[in-house]
Amino acid sequence: MNDIPRHNFAAAPRLDLLDAQLASRFDNSFIRELPADPLRHDVPHQVRNACYSQVKPTPVASPRLLVWADAVGALLGVARPEAATGPAVDLLAGNRVLPGTQPYAARYGGHQFGNWAGQLGDGRAMTLVELIGPDGQRRELQLKGAGRTPYSRTADGRAVLRSSVREFLCSEAMHYLGVPTTRALSLVATGDSVVRDMFYDGNPQAEPGAIVCRVAPSFVRFGNFEILTWNDELAELKRLADYVIRTHYPELGEPSPEVYALWFEEICRRTAVMVAGWMRVGFVHGVMNTDNMSILGLTIDYGPYGWLEGYDLGWTPNTTDAEGRRYCYGRQAEIAQWNLIRLASALLPLIPDRAHLEGGILTYERVYGECSRRIMGDKLGLLEIDAGDDALLEDLATALHAAETDMTLFFRHLADVPVDEAGANLSDNALTAPLRGAFYGGDDAAGGHLGAWLRRYVDRVRRDGETPARRRARMNRSNPKYVARNYLAQLAIDALAAGDASVIDRLLAVLERPYDEQPEHEDLAVRRPEWARHKAGCSALSCSS
């Protein structure tokens, strides 16, 4: 299964060319190795003893290519379509299916907001094929918004432009920030209207439809295993686990009780690294249900996500979570661990020694703690965080909460605070001057809260003895200048809906270099404007898409 042939990629084929070179790189290992739903139609039903259902995308009225990620195309070894319409775009919209591909929707369950939700599955996503890229790696091409599947329940299987733009933008932004993530290849307008009640308040509206082509080595998630154990489908559970290990974790060895335990430990490690990455850049997933947790430790399913602007550990972008705040920024590490415990329960038939599962959870705690300390050291420009720094960190969080302070801007410009001997003798106002653009209450809003803290911070930095240039470079590698803020995404959505792709093209180009200064794009590195504070799509969002 893992012997992937090498190919000549001197000339990357277009998706609309049915040549032998492209077809020879197709694979369908998931459906070849795993049991299928015997019913082959899109009528919602309870599926048993299967990992997927074979499906067909539902054609759309007039597909048109809006955005293409050249870097993702290069990973796959396929070239950008030559035109905004035509055979290649028909493929990306689901209007055509290439010979050799076998589209399917995966079956999974999940715990949603802490409660078992039963069968969920790919209700509006369809994997077209696994494509072997120039690097020899297998990646799934999955259409999101391509129509009904057996898991759509009462929904239509479609997606709207606003959510599709947000998924495309954030997938690519997270990659360039260095956070493990799925990718996005294309964004296609369907020409159809999709009716959605954005805030579930009884005001449905017709919105333009769109389809994203998502790319990942696998879209298997915790819930794929949960549904099998929950329904006592243990033979299928073992087949799925063996498939994932052999295909995506071959370095662990042939599946066995010992390898299953090592595999769970590695999932825990990867999840810890991913969530630490979220916390570093101020990303809030918004809906960390177990069906939205990748078995590969990738950020998956970009829905009502958000970026921490005013520093607030209790902030959630998800209107559904506004009361309980289960998935707020400050609880993400805790919830990831809770989700891993649910996965451990699902894998218990394969790993009967609970001590091995407990060891995986301990690995999560250790790795997350190590990552967090290293990250905080880099963000603050300290060589190492030790116990003596606890009070400094706690007082910083208090100060940032006391006056609404933009997280991204604060940490980015903290590198500009003078820490040499002259800086140690500056007034509070002079010390806070490089940070004033981060204060939502005005330029001087946080001076009284941060001045005393900055003086302690300068003393702490000086004890390390690192050169200012090295400290600044290290901080700027950890603290991005540009992130995919919700209001920027909304500006791109509004422009694209009006036929203007220049806004999203510029934003994507800037987000490919989030740690670089890019002074010509300074307007994209400022705090959220007041008009966006309560505007739909710019602050809180719902799961409606």
Q: Which residues have a catalytic role annotated?
A: 291
Q: Give the containing element (helix H, strand E) for 230.
A: helix 222-230
Under DSSP, the state recorded for 317 is S
Q: How many angstroms separate the CA atoms of 321 and 113, rounded?
A: 8
Distance, in Å, from the CA atom of 272 to the CA atom of 345, rounded to the nearest integer, reads 18
Strand pairing report for 205-216 and 138-144: antiparallel
Cβ partners under 8 Å of residue 530, min gap 6: none
CB 211 within 8 A of CB 144: yes
Which is it for strands 138-144 and 183-196: parallel, antiparallel or unpaired?
A: unpaired
Query: Across the chain, how many H-helices and E-strands are there?
Result: 18, 12
- At residue 36, φ and ψ (nearest 5 deg) are -105, 155
Q: CA–CA separation, 156 vs 341, rounded Å?
A: 33
**By the 8 A CB rule, do 184 and 214 touch?**
yes
> Which contacts of 10-15 are long-range, i.e. CB under 8 A and separated by 24 or more positions?
12/73, 12/74, 12/77, 12/78, 12/79, 13/77, 13/78, 13/79, 14/78, 14/79, 14/80, 14/81, 14/82, 14/88, 15/78, 15/81, 15/87, 15/88, 15/91, 15/92, 15/98
The residue count for the chain = 545
CB neighbour burial string for 512-523, b if at least 16 within 10 angstroms, e if fewer: eebbeeeeebee
Contact at 8 Å (CB) between 357 and 351?
Answer: yes
